[in-house]
Structure 1
Amino acid sequence: MADKIISIYKTRLSLSELIPLLAMMMALSALSIDTILPAVTIIAKDLGVVKENSAQLVIGVMFAAFSFGQLLYGPLSDIIGRKRAFYVGIFIFTIGCIVSYHATNFKVMLFGRLLQGLGVSSARVISQAIIRDQYVGADMAKIMSIIISIFIIVPALAPSLGQLILKYYSYRSIFLLLLTHATIVVFWLGIRQPETLAVENRKRFNASLLLKEMRLVLEEKTTFLFSVSQGFVFGNMVGFLMSAPQIFADLYQEQDRFPLFFAGLAISVGISSILNSSLVKQLGMIRLASIALLLMISFSLMFLVFIFFGNGQTPLWITMLFLCCLFFQVGFLMGNLNAMAMEPMGERAGIAAAVIGSISTSISWACGTIVGQNYQKTLFPLILGWFLLSSLAFIAMRLGVAKARSHN
C-alpha cells in the first residue's frame, strides 16, 4: 500500500523537506536515550537495582544493540530497499517500547531496551544511505551538518521533556512518547519520501556475497580508519551520557537542573554544526576535523589540570565552561568524519553505512562503558577518557588521511 502511495511522488524530495525528515529519523535514537537520562536512578530504584553504576546499563545495553543492529539493516536495505528495511526496524523498536513499558524487573527492562536499540539502529543506517544515494563529497557533508544542527535540538530538549513527563506521569510514559515519535516518522517517510534504491539496483540475498561486500568495506583502509576515529569521538559522548546524571547529582546536587545544563551543551554542538555546514566547502572536511580534534585534546588536557588541583572536582562554572568547549568541537566532527568514511563507498552505500555505523558505535559503546563504570564521584575518569579517546581519534584520522593521499 505504501509503495502505491509513494508512486505519486516520483521526484526527489526538496532539501527543505528531506533535511527535517531525516533529522527526525536520526533524532529517534537520541530521543530514546536522552529522555531516559533524568529517569535512570528512578528506574533503578523502582526495579530494585542495588549497585549504583548498574543503572547505567539502561543506556549501555541500548548502545550495544544499536551497534549490532546496524550490521543487519545495511545489507537488508540493499536487498529490499531503504524504506522497507526501516519499517522492519521500527516494528522491532515498537515491541521493545511495549516490553519496557510493562517491565516488572530490571532484566525485562534491559531486554526491552535491547530491542529498542536493535530496532532504532535502522534509522541511522537508512538515513545515511538515503543521503549517500543522492549526494557525495562536500555536498553530503554539508547536508549531514545541517541535519545534525537540526537533530541536535532533540537531545537539547529531550532531558527536559523526560523530566516534564516524570513530574506528571510515571517514567513508563516516556516509552509512549517514543512510540508517538516513531509513528510520525513512519507515516511521513511512507507517504512523502520516494524509495532511493531502484528495484533494478537491489541485490539478491547471498550470504557469501554479503560477507564479501563487508570485507571489501573493511579492506578500504580510509573508510575503516575514519570509522574508528568517529568511534573514539562518540566514545566521549557515551561516557558522558552514562556518567552525567550521577555527576550532576553527586558533585553539584543539580539533578533538577541537569536537563538545562545538558541542553546548553547540546546547543553548542548545534551551533558548531551550523558553522561547519558553511565552512566545509571553503576549508575542507579534513582541515576542520583536524583542528577540532586538536582543540578537543588541548581543552581536555587543560581541564585535567584543573581537576587535579581541585582534588577530582571543579566549580560548576568551570566544569560547564570546559564541557561547552569540548562539545563545541563535536559539531565539526560528526558530519565530516562520517562523510569522509562514506565517500569511497559509491554503490555500497547501504552496507557501508551499516559497517561504518557498527564499527563506530561498537567502539563508542565499549569505551564509553569503561569510562562510565569507572565513575567514583570525581570528574577524573570522564575527562581522562576524553583526553585519551580524542588523542586516539586524531591518530586514526591522520592515518586515514595519509592512506587516502597515498591512493591519489
Structure 2
Amino acid sequence: MTGSTMLSHDKRTIGQRELVVIVALLMSLNALAIDGMLPALDEIASELGAAEGNQRQFVIAVFLLANGLGCLVPGAFADRFGRRPLLLLSLASYSVFSLLIALVQDFTMLLVLRGIQGVLSAGLMVVPTAIIRDQYEGDRMARLMSLVSAVFITVPVIAPSIGQAVLLFAGWRWIFVFLALMGGLAAVWVWVRLPETLDPAHRQNINVPVIVRNMRVALINRASVGYVLGTMLLIGAVFGYVNSAQQLIGEHFAVGELFPIVFGATAAMMVVSNVVNSRIVERFGARRVSHTGVLVFILVSAVQVWASHYRPDSLAWFLPLMATNLGLLGFLGANFGSIAMQPFASIAGAASSIQTFFRMFGAAVVGLIIGQSYDGTAQPFALALLICSVGALLLVFYSEKGRLFRRLNPPAKPKA
C-alpha cells in the first residue's frame, strides 16, 4: 500500500502517513498519562499526604496495572462493533477521568481514579494494533509499527518536560487538565478522519465462549507466545526504569531539575532506533533484526550490572548504557509484536487484547517489582535488565524451536 492508499470498509479515506500519525497519537496518550506525571510526583505526594519513599511510585504503577488489566476487554468488542466506537469510548473515558483526577483531594482517591482511568482507556493500546493488522502483515506490518513507535515514543521523551513546564506556571492538577484536552482533540480527529478498518467478513460474535476461544487460540500459539512474553519482560524492565527514574536519576545521580532533560535524552534513542528499524526490517526481516537486538541487549545489560557495582555513582557510565538499552528496544518491540500478531488476521482484535494484556499487565507487575526494589543504588535495576533480557531470549528460543535468525516471509519482488 502506498501513502495515498484508501483504507477499505468505510467511505472515509486516509493516507498511510496520516494513519501512522493518528495511531501513534492514540497510543501515546497513555504514555503521556504516565511520563507526564514524573516531575510532579513529589508535589502530588506532598499535597495529598502520601508517605515519602517508594509510595509515590503508585501514581504510575496503578495506572500501568489497570491499563494492562483493561486490555482484556476492548479487543473482542472491536472485533464485533468495529474499531472506531471503541476508540471514541476510550478517548471519552480518558478525558473525563483526567478532569476528575484534577479535582481530587485525597491520595487514595487519586489512585482509585487512576485505576479506573487505566482500565477504561485500555482501548487506546489494543485497538490501534488491530487497525494496523487489518491493513498489513509480516515485515510490512513491522515496518509500519516501527514508524508508529518512532512517533509515539516521542511523547515519553518530551512528556516529563511538558509536565515540568506546566509546574512552572501552575500546579500539578493542570497536567491532568492538559491530558483531558489532548484526549478531546484526538477524539475529534478520530471522528472526522479515521475510517472503519474492520472487514465485515471478520466480525465476531459477542459471547463468552467465542471470546474465550479466540483469546485462547491467540495465546497458546507456540510461534506467538514466546514473543508476547518476551516483550512483557523487556517492557517490564522499562517500566521499572520509569517507576524509579525520578529517584534513580533525580536523587541518586543528583541531577535535580535537569531530570526531564536527562530522562528524555535516554528515551530519545528509541525514536532513532525505530526509524532505523522501519528502514531495514523489510530488507533483513523482523526475526533477524530482533534476534540480533536481544543478544546485544543482554551484552549491554551485563555491562550495566558491572558498572552498577564498580562505577555506582557515575552518571557518565549509566546514561550511555541506559540510552543504548532503550535504543535496542526499537529493534525489539515492533518486530516482536508483528511476529506475534502474524497468525491472527481474522481475530486481530481478540489477539491484540490478550497479547497486549500480557505485555502491559505483566510488564506493569514486573516494573512494579523492579521499582519497589530500588534501594538508593542502580544495582537492582541493572540486575533486572539482565534477567529480563535473558528470559526474553529463552522465550524466543521456545517460539522458534531453538533456531534463531530464520526468515519465514522473504520480501516481495518489486513489480516490473
Q: For residues 163-200 of structure 1, what are the alpha-carbon distances to aligned partners after superposition, in whole Å with 9 as ceiling and x for unaligned?
A: 00011101000111111111111111111111111445
TM-superposed deviation, 1:120: 2.4
Aligned CA distance change for structure 1 residues 356 and 72 (closer, same or farther; 3 Å): same
Whether contact under 8 Å (2:42, 2:56) holds in the other structure is yes
Distance in 2 of aligned mates of 1:366 and 1:152: 21
Q: CA deviation at 1:44?
A: 0.8
Alignment match, 2:354: 355
Matched, 1:315 2:314: yes
Residue 382 (structure 2) pairs with residue 383 (structure 1): yes
Query: 2 CA distance for matches of 1:257 and 1:107?
Result: 29
Shift of 1:332: 0.4
Deviation above 4 Å: which 4+ runs of structure 1?
Answer: 6-9, 403-406
Structure 2: 5+ residue stretches without partners: 1-6, 409-416
Structure 1 segment 5-404 matched on structure 2, within 5 A: 10=11, 12-199=13-200, 201-310=202-311, 313-402=312-401
Instruction: Considering fraction of residues, name the structure with more helix.
Output: 1
CA contact (8 A) 1:91 1:119 kept: no
Structure 2 CA distance for aligned equivalents of residues 8 and 390 of structure 1 = 41
Q: How much does 1:249 deviate?
A: 2.4
Cα pair 2:307 2:318 within 8 Å, conserved = no
Q: How many residues align?
A: 400
How far 1:370 moved relative to its partner? 0.7
Ranges in structure 1 where 5+ consecutive residues have no aligned partner: 1-5
State the alpha-carbon separation in 1 of the partners of residues 113 and 216 from structure 2: 32
Cα distance between partner residues in 1 of 2:371 and 2:137: 36
Secondary structure of 1:62's aligned partner: helix
How big is each residue's C-alpha offset from its partner over 1:133-182, in whole Å with a ceiling of 9 and x where there is no partner? 11111110000001111112111111000000011101000111111111
- Say whether the 8 Å CA contact 1:306–1:314 is kept in structure 2: no
CA deviations 1:99-146 (Å, max 9, x no partner) are 211111111110121122112211111110110011111110000001
Residues in 1 aligned to 2:308 and 2:249: alpha-carbon distance in whole angstroms = 15
Q: Is the 8 A contact 1:89 1:118 kept in 2?
A: no
Query: Shift in Å at residue 252 of structure 1?
Result: 2.1
Q: Contact conserved, 1:34 with 1:158, CA < 8 A, in 2?
A: yes
How far 1:238 sits from its partner (Å)?
A: 0.3
Q: Evaluate the alpha carbon distance shift between residue 88 and residue 403 of structure 1 in structure 2; reply closer, same or farther with a 3 A threshold.
A: farther
Aligned-partner residue type, residue 278 of structure 2: S
Deviation at 1:231, TM superposition (A): 0.2
State the shift of 1:95 in Å: 3.2
Separation of aligned partners in 2, 1:7 and 1:303: 48
Structure 2 SS opposite 1:242: helix
Larger deviation: 376-385 or 109-118? 109-118
Q: Residues of 2 paired with 1:352 and 1:391: CA distance?
A: 25
Equivalent-residue separation in structure 1 for 2:277 and 2:13 (angstroms)? 25
Q: Distance in 2 between matches of 1:215 and 1:9?
A: 30
What is the root-mean-square deviation in Å for CA atoms of aligned residues? 1.9
1:331 aligned partner, one-letter code: G
Alpha-carbon distance between aligned partners in 2 of 1:206 and 1:275, rounded to the nearest angstrom: 42
TM-score, with structure 1 as normaliser: 0.94
| Cα distance in 2 between the residues matched to 1:403 and 1:296 | 19
- Asked if the contact 1:226/1:341 (under 8 Å) is kept, the reply is yes
